[in-house]
Amino acid sequence: MTVVRTWHARRRARERLLESLLMLAALVSVAVTVAIVYVLVAESMAFFDSVGFAEFVADSQWTPLFEDAHYGIGVLLSATLTCTAVALAVALPVGGWIAIYLSEFASPAIRDIAKPLLELLGAVPTIVYGYFALMFVTPLLRYLIPGLPGFNLLSAGIVMGIMIIPYVSSLSEDAMRAVPMALREASCAMGASRLQTALGVVVPSAAAGIASACVLAVSRAMGETMIVAIAAGSQARLGYDPTESAATLTSYIVQVALGDVDQGGIAYRTVFVAGLALMLLTLTMNVASHVLRQRFLRASVR
Amino acid sequence: MVVERRQRDAASASPRLKAAVRDLSFYYDRQRALSDVALPIREHRVTALIGPSGCGKTTLLRCFNRMHDLYPGNRCTGELRLYPDDIDLLSRDVDPIAVRMRIAMVFQKPNPFPRSVYENVAYGLRVRGMRSRVVLDERVEQALRSAALWDEVKDRLDAPGASLSGGQQQRLCIARALATDPEMVLFDEPTAALDPVATSNIEQLISELRSTVTIVIVTHNMQQAARVSDDTAYMYLGRVVEFGTTDEIFIRPRMKQTEDYITGRFG
C-alpha cells in the first residue's frame, strides 16, 4: 500500500515539475516581449526628458549626431513609408496576379512546382537582396533615370517588393482557393469567362484574406533592414520622393548601432525611440488589418 | 385538378422542340455516368428529370450549359441539339460561354455573389458588356419582378445579396438567371435547401416562367415534379427509363420500375 502511495506521489511530483518547466518555457517568450517593450519605453522616456514631444513629432530634421541636433521622427518615417509604398506597388500587382493565376488558371502540376519556387524568394537572405538592389537594380535604374543617386529608396523599395511577393501571392492564393466552387460555377453559368469570374467574383470574395496578406507584407516591409541599410543610403532627409537617398527607421538604427556612440547619451537613446516608433507602426498596421478583416468577414456572412 | 391538367396539356400540345438529347453518353474519367440518353425538350414547357440519387440527372442537366467543361477529365459522346438554329451544344466548335449566354442555371443552394442585390442581378448584363445605367436599371427591375422579388427588395437594392433570407436568395438567383433573357433555364434541385413556404413560392414562379422560357428541372421531390412539370423523364443508372408527359408518367406509367419509384416502393 505504502509502496503504491509513494509511487503515485513521485509520479505526481514529476508531472508537476514537467508542467512547471513547460510553463516556464512559455513564460520566457512572454517575458522577452515584455522586456523588449520595457526597454524601448524606458529609454524613450529618458529621451523625452531632454527632447520635447512636439519637436519629436513636428521637426523637419533628424540630426542627432550633429552639433546642431534635431529630432524630427517624421524624417525617418517619411523614408520608411516611401520605401514601403514602392514595395507594395511592386508586390501587390505582381503577387496578386500570381495568386489569380495559381488559384484560377494553373494546372495542379504547375501549381505544385511554382508555389515552392515562389516561396524560395522569401528564403533568400536579405543581405543578398541588399546587394542585388545596390549592384544590379540601381545601375539598371540609373540607366533609365539619369541623375538617380547611387543610393536611393526606389531601388531598395523595388527589391523589397520582390522579397514580399511570396507573402502577398501565397496568402492571397490561399484566400482565393477557399472561395466556394459554387460561386465560380454561378459566375460561369452566367456566361462569364474565367478571367471575369476571377476578377468579378473570386477576388471580391477573398478580399478579406487578400487585405490581410497585404498588411502582413507591409509590416514585413517596414521592418526590413538589410536592403535599405545597403541600398537606400544613410542621409536622413524628409520627403516622399523615391528617387532620393534617405535613411529609414531601420537603416538609421543600424547606422547608429554600428557606430561609436556613447551609451546612455541622447544620441544612443534615439535608437530606442526609432525602434519604438517602428513597433507602434507595425502594431497599428496589425490592428487596422484586424478591424478591416472583421468588417469584411461580417459583410460576407451568409 | 387532373382534369384541369389534361385540358391544359391538350390545349398546349405544341410539339415544337427546344432541344433534343441524342445518344448522349457521359464519362467522368473512366466511369460512365450517362448511357445513350435520348430526350426531347419541348419549348415553353417544364421538363422534370427524376430518379434516385446517382442516376445521372444532374450530370445530364449540366450538359445543357457545358458546366462539365469547367473540370478536366470529362468526356462525352452524342449530341445535344438546340433549336431553332439546330446546333450541337456539345460540339467542340461551340464556345461554352456562348452556350451559357443562352442557357441559364439556378443551383441547388442559393449562391448570390458577394455584391449588392442590384449588382447580383446586373452581373450577367455587365459580363455581356452592358454599361448604360438606364438599361441596367430597367432590366434589373424587370428580372426582379419576374422572380417575384421586386416588392420585397426594391427599397434595399444596395444591400448585400447575402443579407436576404434563403428563399429570397434563391429568387435573387432566379432573377439573376432571367436578367439576360435566356432561352432556357436549368434548375438543379432549386428548393432542396428551402423551407416549405419558400419552396411553394419557387414552384409557383417556375410554373409562371414557362410562358417565356423553356425549363428543365432536376428534383428529388416527386410531388414537386408532378406539380410543376409538363414532361417527366425517369432516370435510373445513367439511362432514361421512361419519358412522357407528367400525367402519363405519374398516372399510368408504362414501366413497372417507374411506377415503383413514383409510388415510393423503390429509390
Min Cα distance B264 → chain A (Å) is 31
For the domain made up of B2-111+181-262, the CATH class stated in words is alpha beta
Is A130's pLDDT higher than 80? yes
Residue whose grid cell is 450517362? B34
Query: Up-side HSE of residue A197: CA atoms within 13 Å toward CB?
Result: 23
Is the link from the previous residue into A93 a cis peptide, with omega within 30 of 0? no
Contact B99, B91 (CB under 8 A): no
Residue in B173, B181, B161, B253 with CA at minimum distance from that of residue B205: B173
Instruction: Please state, rounded to an integer, the average pLDDT across all residues of chain B.
Output: 89
**B236: exposed, middle or buried (Cβ count in 10 Å: 0-12, 13-18, 19+):** buried
| A189 interaction partners in chain B (CB closer than 8 Å) | 65, 67, 100, 104-105, 107, 177
Query: Burial letters for B75-104: b for 16+ Cβ neighbours within 10 Å, e otherwise?
Result: ebebbbbbeeeebebbeeeeebbebbbbbb
Specify the DSSP element, H or E, that contains A26.
helix A2-50
Judge: A183–B65 Cβ closer than 8 Å, yes or no.
Answer: no
Q: Is some CB atom of chain B closer than 8 A to the CB atom of A295?
A: no
Cell digits of residue A209: 484574406
Interface test with B, best of A110, A111, A190 (most B CBs within 10 A): A190
CA B120 to CA B171: how far, in whole Å?
11
Instruction: Please state, rounded to an integer, the average pLDDT across all residues of chain A.
Output: 89
Contact B215, B246 (CB under 8 A): no
Q: Is some CB atom of chain B closer than 8 A to the CB atom of A187?
A: yes
Q: What are phi and psi of A96, to 5 degrees?
A: -65, -45
| B177 interaction partners in chain A (CB closer than 8 Å) | 189-190
| B180 interaction partners in chain A (CB closer than 8 Å) | 190-191
Residue in B74, B90, B76 with CA at minimum distance from that of residue B29: B74
| B67 interaction partners in chain A (CB closer than 8 Å) | 185, 188-189
User: Chain B residue closest to A190 (CA)?
Assistant: B124
Query: Burial letters for A8-31: b for 16+ Cβ neighbours within 10 Å, e otherwise?
Result: eeeeeeeeeeeeeeeeeeeeeeee
Could you say which residues of chain B have pLDDT below 70? 1-15, 267
CA B147 to CA B179: how far, in whole Å?
10
Residue in A77, A99, A82 with CA at minimum distance from that of residue A211: A99
pLDDT for position B123: 95
Min Cα distance A96 → chain B (Å) is 19
The residues pairing with B31 across neighbouring beta strands, listed in sequence order, are B28
CA A39 to CA A273: how far, in whole Å?
10
Kindly state the DSSP code that residue B190 receives in the 8-state scheme: T
**105-124 in A: which are within 8 Å (CB) of B?**
107
pLDDT for position B241: 92
Kindly state the DSSP code that residue B116 receives in the 8-state scheme: B
pLDDT for position B126: 94
pLDDT for position A1: 56
| A107 interaction partners in chain B (CB closer than 8 Å) | 72
| B97 interaction partners in chain A (CB closer than 8 Å) | 191-193
Judge: A205–B114 Cβ closer than 8 Å, yes or no.
Answer: yes
pLDDT for position B11: 43
**Angstrom distances, CA of residue A171 to CA of A208, A210, A296, B44:** 11, 7, 16, 48
Q: Is some CB atom of chain A closer than 8 A to the CB atom of B70?
A: yes
Give the sheet arrangement for strand B46-50, strand by strand.
B103-106, B184-188, B214-218, B46-50, B231-236, B239-245
CA A218 to CA A284: how far, in whole Å?
12
Residue in A227, A230, A222 with CA at minimum distance from that of residue A275: A222
Q: Is some CB atom of chain A closer than 8 A to the CB atom of B97?
A: yes
pLDDT for position B13: 56
Q: Is some CB atom of chain B closer than 8 A to the CB atom of A191?
A: yes
Cell digits of residue B203: 414552384
Residue whose grid cell is 526609432? A274
What was the ipTM of the complex prediction? 0.87
pLDDT bracket for residue A300 (50, 70, 90): low
Residue-range domain boundaries for chain B: 2-111+181-262
Judge: B176–A190 Cβ closer than 8 Å, yes or no.
Answer: yes
pLDDT tens-digit series, residues A18-45? 999 999 999 999 999 999 999 999 999 9
- In this structure, the number of other CB atoms found within 10 A of the CB of residue A238 comes to 16
Judge: A190–B177 Cβ closer than 8 Å, yes or no.
Answer: yes
User: Chain A residue closest to B126 (CA)?
Assistant: A192
pLDDT tens-digit series, residues B160-191? 999 999 999 999 999 999 999 999 999 999 99
Q: Which of B72, B100, B109 sits opposite A190 (nearest CB)?
A: B100
